[in-house]
Structures are given as C-alpha cells and as structure tokens.
Structure 1
C-alpha cells in the first residue's frame, strides 16, 4: 500500500490536456523585425517587456513542458489589460514581426506557445474573475487557470464546465474543446461560453456571441482554436449550481484490463447516456515498482451525494470479484478534484490521439493494448540506454451521445461531431520523460502507435466520422482540422479570411495548429 500511496500522484497526473516533435534547445535566430518590435513595444508599453537575461524574462519562461521552456524568444511582452493586448498586437502585425501567444503555457510541444527569436505575448496578467450578480455567468481573463476559477466559485456553491487539472489554462483548453466533469449534461467548455472578447489582427477589439454581429467568429472559436482568428482576452462562461462531487479512483493490476476495458465500452455505448451526471476515463500505464502494468479508472458523479454508496452507473467497477490495488472514494469540491490531477511542471511531455467509433467492440479496444505494450517496450529500452525516466500512458475517454447532443446548443461548435454519427472513444497516448536525447524516438514511436490504432480501427470498420482528432491532446504534426469535416474546415477558413483578410495571423502567429 505504501508504494501505491507514493505513486498515486503520478498516476493521477495524467496528461489530460495538449502535445509534441523535436526538442533540441532552440535559440533566437537573428530577426530584425523582432528586434524592432521589442524596442517598439518597450516604448509603447513601458515596464511590460522582458528581455533575455533578466529576472522577468526567466519568470515568463515558465512552462508545463520543459520542451517549451527551452525555446527562447527575443522578448516577452506581458499586457494586463485588453487595451494593452490590442496595442501589442497592432504593433506586431504592423511591423510584420513573428510572435506567439502564451496563456496557461500548457502545450506539450516546443513552440506551441513560445517562439524562438520572435515575440511571446504572455497573457498571465489577464487573470480577473468576476461572477455576475445573477450568478448565471462569470467573466474570466484569458490568463487564468482552472484552479483560479474553481476557488472563486466553490465557496458560492457554483461551478463552470471547465478543465479537470488545476494548472491547465482556461484559454487553451476552452478554444480547443474542453472536456469537463460536467460534460454529460452541458457539453464541452467551448459550448458554455456566452461571449468571447477578441483582439483581431488589426488591434480592433470585438465581442463574439451566438446571436450577435460576430456570430460566425463565435462559432469558429468553439473548438477551432484561437491562433487563426484572434487573441481571446476574456471569456464569459455559463455558471451552474454545484456542490461536492462523488469521485472514486480505482487502481487495478494489469490482469484486470480486459474486464475494465469491457466496462468502459459499455459506458460508451449506453451507460453514460443513461446517467448524464457521470464522467469517467481509463488509464493504463507501466509501473516497475508494482511489477508491470496497472490500470486506473477514475469515476465522477456530479449529483450523487452519498459518500458511502457507489452510483449505479459505476457499480460494476467496484465488484468484489475484481482485483484492486487501491481504491480512493470521496466527496470533493471541484477545486480539490483539480488539485488531485495537478500536473507538475518541468518534465518533457508529448501526447497524440485519435478516435474510434462506438461500433468498435470491446475486443478492438483490448487489441490496442498489445500495440501499446510494444510501444512501451521500445520506450523503456531507450530510456534505460539514455539513463532517463519515462512514464507512458494509454488513455480511453468516452464521448457518449449525450455529450455530443449537448454540443449542439447555440448553433453547434466547430468540431463536426453529430449525435446521429454515434458516440466515439478518444484513444490517447501520452508520455512524460526526462532526457532530451529521447525526444525524436518518443515522437516517432507515438506517431507509429496512433497510425497502428487507426489502421486497426479501419480494418474493423470502426473509424470515427471524419477521423476526428481532439486538438488538446494532438501531436504537432497531426492534421486536426481535417477531422472536423470538409464543410467545417471550409467554413473555418472563410471565417479566418474574413477577420484577418491580409493573413497577418496566418503568416506571423507561430505555434499550435493552423488553417493552411
């Protein structure tokens, strides 16, 4: 039991948020436009620009993934108001200076929200949180993290449809979709935004709402990412009444994976749809101290208030016949749940994902396991040779029909998921490691594994509609937007051209996923 207690934070520090490639140390390349931009920003926004070899620069260089920290911009600019963001963006685009934007800094791959030799706009100072007088919405600055939001709302008996890990940023998770404890009833985070305050490439500030003048921009920002359209500076989010949640984290030995995977498939096709207050995910990882593979099932229920009884939807996961290594059942507020899955900063990170349709039988999900084990064997051998630590994860997350139905509010989001196409399972491969020497090998192995999963699904006629890829877990080279479907992809490109007709963001805003 002592070993489990020591490993518990690592098991729960699963990468539930974004991903990827080579990560050799990146140094600023000479860029005359960036140098001019840093000088001009220093004049226009005194005290907001941080140059290399200063304490402020080092402070802004803090990222979740070490691969991002190794990227060095010519300068950081750290606005604390929308007007300062507007001035910075207008200046950068007028000078044709390459830049990127950092909110929570939780992208795994190098250059996702940092830029070598350019300007990184750090939104951390936009961290205001204001609950409306009617308790139906909350205004959240783009630099906030989910723990900031939950700590403001928990004492009021309120919550938002937001992230599941304390240090993940509000901005990146919401713009990419945003899986939540409350998704079964309300959809994803992007489906619960009332208003986006957005700085366009010209520096103009607009508000995008479902029924307003910028409804097309509102639609595009619901899962379409931000770097093609504008810098979101504030989110007005729907608020829900919410007390403590029931939660249970069960660790099983690897020999139980067939049973647990079959139960997960059952939840995908019918269990979660019948119990929309329930939420869960499955994790398989390798823990040498426990003798090999272990399986984690994290289960949540937002309306079950009995800490001594298991909700019906999860009863089979607690069957006495199932061998378990540890069970942690509790009633917790949202903030505590977010801290339970707090993801430590400073390691090297990557994540890749794909989806399979509900037509996939439990056998298909089980047949992915030996593919994952082959991947793990490669990683462990390479880590041993490089004297590096490595922790690989296989994650299943069920996107049931009730979640997809809830996504259709206010005209639907940009993701292209439709209830009539049926539920899907996200298959995610995430790795944490310590040595830069393993970067390319881990990326290549992860890419190969996802390709094998796609091929296996195709052979079983279980490819999801459009081959959807969840942006927030995607590898840098994955074609995320193709998975949104041809119609949505064309519409996203049209919106981007409408709001950035000269292509300033397309050509200057580096990092994350782009509409080419």
Structure 2
C-alpha cells in the first residue's frame, strides 16, 4: 500500500505542481490514502486535472483506459453515440469491465479533481450530457450483462445494452421486460428517467418494474439497492431521479410471459384523417382502462418535399389478431406502406420503429397538457405554422421534424404506487389523463445547430403558453416535463411534486455529501436538481 501511495502522490504532485493543497477524505480513509486536490491556474484550464486523472487511472486500470489515436477511443467517443451533436473528444476514455473498476474510476477522478462524463447506450441527444471535451469519459459498453433468472421472473441487464438487444435475448424464452419502443434506445437512461412502453398501461413505467440496482456510490463503494434493504430510500430516488445519486452498473427487471403481440406502424395524409386521428388519440387515452393491454404513440411529421404526415405506432399484448380497442383507428385511410398485424415475437416492433427514426443530428424538447382534442389542435396549428413560417427558410439541411404524442392515462400513473416503496418520484396529479409531447428534429449540417435549436425552443414555448392560457396545463399548474424527452435547458424537476423533490435532495445529500454527481460536481451532464 505504501508504494501505491507514493506512486499516486507523485502523479498528483506532478500534475499539480503549480499549486497544491492536501486534505483528508472521510470517504477514502478506509483505503489508507490521503485525497489530494489542487488549485488550477487559469492558464491550464482543465488540462492539468484531466491529465492527472487519466494518468492515474491508466496506472490503476491500464487495460481499461484508452487514449486519443486508438480505435477504441474513437469508437467510444463518437460511434457509440446516436446523434453526432453529442460527439466529444475527452482526455481519455475509460471502459470499465466491472462495477469495482467503476469505483476505481470515481476514486481517480476525485483524487485529481477530474471532470468525467458517463455514457450508457448513447441515445441521449443533448450535447454535453453523456460526453466531455476534457477529463474522462466513462464508456459503459463492457458492462453488458444479459442474464435471465433460473425461474424466468427477472432479467439482469447491464448499462451497456440497448433495448433491441434485451428484447432479442428474451424473445426465444417467450419473456418480455418493460423498456424502450425503439431498438436503439439505451437501457440506463430510459430506466433512470421513467420509461414508456407499449404495455405501460398494464405494467406502469419501465422504472416501476425494476427489482434491484447495482450501484457505485460517490465514494467508490459498490452496493446492491432494493426496496427492502438499507438502501430503500435510494431505491425510491432512482425511480425517476436520473443520474443524481450514483452510477448504476446493473439492473434487475421483472419479466412477463408475453410470447406474442399485435402491432405495427401506419401513415396517412389529409386533414380529414388528422381530425379522426386526434379524436382517436384522445378517446384512446381517456378510456385506456377498457383494454390495459393496448399501447399507442402517435406523431405528426414534416419532411421537405413531402405532404404533412400522420404516423401511428400501436401495440397490443397477446395473440388477438384484431383488438377491438383499435376499431376507431381503422377508420383512418392509411397509406399502402402501413404495416399492422401479429408480430413474430416482441422484438419485431422495436426493429420496425428503429428503421423509421433515422438521421445524423437530433434534438428533443418536451411539453405536456391535459389529454383533449383542443390540446392536439393547438399542437397541430403551432407545429405546422412555425414549420412553414420559420423552419423551412432558416434550416436548409433539415431532414424531418415531428411531434410525438404520448397518452399518459391515470391507469399508467397509478401503477407507480405498487413498486414497493410508495410510488416513484414524479409526484404527478393522478386524477387527470395527460398528453406528453416530444418535439423532435433531425438535420445534417452543424451550421444549422443554432437555428434548429432556437426553432424547437420556440415551438415548445408557444405550446406551453397556449396550454396555460386555455387551462390545459394540468398537474396543478406545474407543467410536467418528462426528462427522457427533454432539451438540455429545460428544468424538468420543477414539474415534480415538491415533497418528492425535497426527499430526493435529502437522498442525494446522504449518499453524495460532496456533490460529485451534483450540478457543480465532477460528474458532468444529465438533468440535475
């Protein structure tokens, strides 16, 4: 231990030769090593701390650290990301093989005051949320556990997986786990932010189906978090609290025997169809308790040179080839390329939808309202109005833009209360049905980044103001912003219940007293309190 201490001290002192200060750390006292921090002169910026953290980590876990110029560095910092807007070039890339290695990475970052970012599946399109231009990128690709329990009632999934891989693994067993509806979506971000699924009306959010978490805390310790052990409070907070508490290195999810499903994707054009479309979505959401096995997400879409397009993505649990709840749905004059019917297995629909959502650069923004036809008419007029008056002229490289409409009925919200810890963190008024809207765009040229981000913000701001003016905000006037679909500047936690937010802050301060995962902490990115 003494030689390791000398080695660590040498690295940090070399990095911090400009100015150093030493202080003890209660969190690291058990290791017998003193934490060193240093003051960085402005001329060095983050370079000194970044070099220190990466160099120290490469000594402690040399097989897991990659530097610029290596193929793994390139893949982990670019290719693993869904949107090119999130590409960054960190000082080094750390690809931990185990949860204990993640703890070593946190320890090295803390010792050198090195910023770090965490990337799981890489689907989050917010720049800077899962990457860093300095410091250490924790690429969780190697934490790729995928294992079914012996009784097939749960599946263990690592944060390096995406939902297409999970469904394809479970399908041969006739099993299913609640996760993303598109195969490219990563596992950890969706689960920590909520998680909507075609079967959520029956089973709740994906987060409400988590049995346990394997977590690495801010002090580097690896813990198992469940609803009935001493980490019960952390178990609750991770249900919607995002990345404010720890790094999750494994999830245990409930599985359900769902060997078959009906579903598909349909498109249509024309205003009469849009009127039927909005009526059906509203009726479906407000009467979802009639058939809890049914799910739906709908979009209104713009693409240059094409007519305004409506899109329905539907799913139904079981082997009913003609679910009655979709009878009104059939009145729409779908285009010839529409696909509906029995799926060969539950992995097929996410693959179909994954082929539809393509592009290079991506942005999300989220808004919400009470579920009503009036709200959908506001969305239609605002989205297409601003598209043709501003977007077309200002963003020449736009590929497509859409508003995804997600019905959130009371039956879905109520499922959270049965997760074993008194509900999730959302604190939403459960007497109302809602629509959540994901305003989404893809484009090709980075030159258009500012213009398209400004346009998306304008659409969102207009919708929010019009909903409030029409009395359609709901949730006691606190517009709920679902963080999995949010833009980086949105204050998602402002829409959570005030009691829930207070409790989450207490949990954060208990497990991360130094604020490593906090808004000003070493862990960069993600939505913070």
The TM-score normalised by the length of structure 1 is: 0.89
Residue number among 175, 192, 215 corresponding to 2:192 in the alignment: 175
Deviations 1:52-99 (A, max 9, x none): 122111111221010112x21111100011111111112212221110
Deviation of 1:356 (Å): 0.4
Please say if residues 319 and 342 of structure 2, whose CA atoms lie closer than 8 Å, have aligned partners that are also in contact: no
Aligned CA distance change for structure 1 residues 431 and 455 (closer, same or farther; 3 Å): same
Deviation of 1:142 (Å): 1.5
Please say if residues 163 and 183 of structure 2, whose CA atoms lie closer than 8 Å, have aligned partners that are also in contact: yes
1:511 matched to 2:521? The reply is no
Report the equivalent of 2:482.
470
Report the equivalent of 1:41.
57
Residue number among 49, 57, 60 corresponding to 2:73 in the alignment: 57
1:414 matched to 2:428? The reply is no
Deviation of 1:418 (Å): 4.1
Report the equivalent of 1:12.
none
Report the equivalent of 1:22.
none
Deviation of 1:417 (Å): 2.2
1:353 matched to 2:338? The reply is no
Deviation of 1:31 (Å): 2.1
Please say if residues 359 and 442 of structure 2, whose CA atoms lie closer than 8 Å, have aligned partners that are also in contact: no
Deviation of 1:287 (Å): 3.5
Please say if residues 53 and 111 of structure 2, whose CA atoms lie closer than 8 Å, have aligned partners that are also in contact: no
Report the equivalent of 2:318.
303
CA distance in 2, matches of 1:289, 1:263: 28
Higher relative contact order (CA 8 A, sep 6+): 1
1:202 matched to 2:216? The reply is no
Please say if residues 183 and 354 of structure 2, whose CA atoms lie closer than 8 Å, have aligned partners that are also in contact: yes
Aligned CA distance change for structure 1 residues 183 and 258 (closer, same or farther; 3 Å): same
Please state whether the residue corresponding to 1:166 is helix, strand or coil. Answer: coil
Deviation of 1:297 (Å): 1.1
CA distance in 2, matches of 1:489, 1:141: 27
Please, what is the CA RMSD of the aligned residues?
A: 1.6
Please state whether the residue corresponding to 2:327 is helix, strand or coil. Answer: helix
Please state whether the residue corresponding to 1:57 is helix, strand or coil. Answer: helix
Report the equivalent of 1:329.
340
CA distance in 2, matches of 1:100, 1:389: 29
Please say if residues 304 and 311 of structure 1, whose CA atoms lie closer than 8 Å, have aligned partners that are also in contact: no
Please state whether the residue corresponding to 1:467 is helix, strand or coil. Answer: coil
Report the equivalent of 2:30.
none
CA distance in 2, matches of 1:83, 1:90: 11
In structure 1, runs of 5+ residues without a counterpart are 1-27
Please say if residues 294 and 317 of structure 2, whose CA atoms lie closer than 8 Å, have aligned partners that are also in contact: yes
Residue number among 129, 135, 156 corresponding to 1:118 in the alignment: 135
CA distance in 2, matches of 1:304, 1:417: 33
Report the equivalent of 1:68.
86
**Equivalent residues, number:** 474
Deviations 1:415-448 (A, max 9, x none): 112423x111002210000111111111111111
Report the equivalent of 1:399.
408
The TM-score normalised by the length of structure 2 is: 0.87
Deviations 1:168-211 (A, max 9, x none): 11111100100012201110110000001110010011111112
Please say if residues 124 and 142 of structure 1, whose CA atoms lie closer than 8 Å, have aligned partners that are also in contact: yes
CA distance in 1, matches of 2:158, 2:104: 17
Deviation of 1:374 (Å): 2.3
In structure 2, runs of 5+ residues without a counterpart are 1-43
Deviations 1:88-124 (A, max 9, x none): 1122122211101010011102111001112110111
CA distance in 2, matches of 1:77, 1:440: 31
Q: Which runs of 4+ in 1 moved over 3 A?
A: 287-290, 321-326, 343-346
Report the equivalent of 1:286.
302
Report the equivalent of 2:201.
184
Residue number among 369, 378, 399 corresponding to 2:380 in the alignment: 369
Report the equivalent of 1:245.
261
Report the equivalent of 2:12.
none
Deviations 1:324-375 (A, max 9, x none): 45431122222111111226676111000111013xx312211221210123
Report the equivalent of 2:277.
260
Please say if residues 252 and 325 of structure 1, whose CA atoms lie closer than 8 Å, have aligned partners that are also in contact: no
Deviation of 1:45 (Å): 0.4
Deviations 1:252-293 (A, max 9, x none): 1042212101110111111x2211100001111124454x20
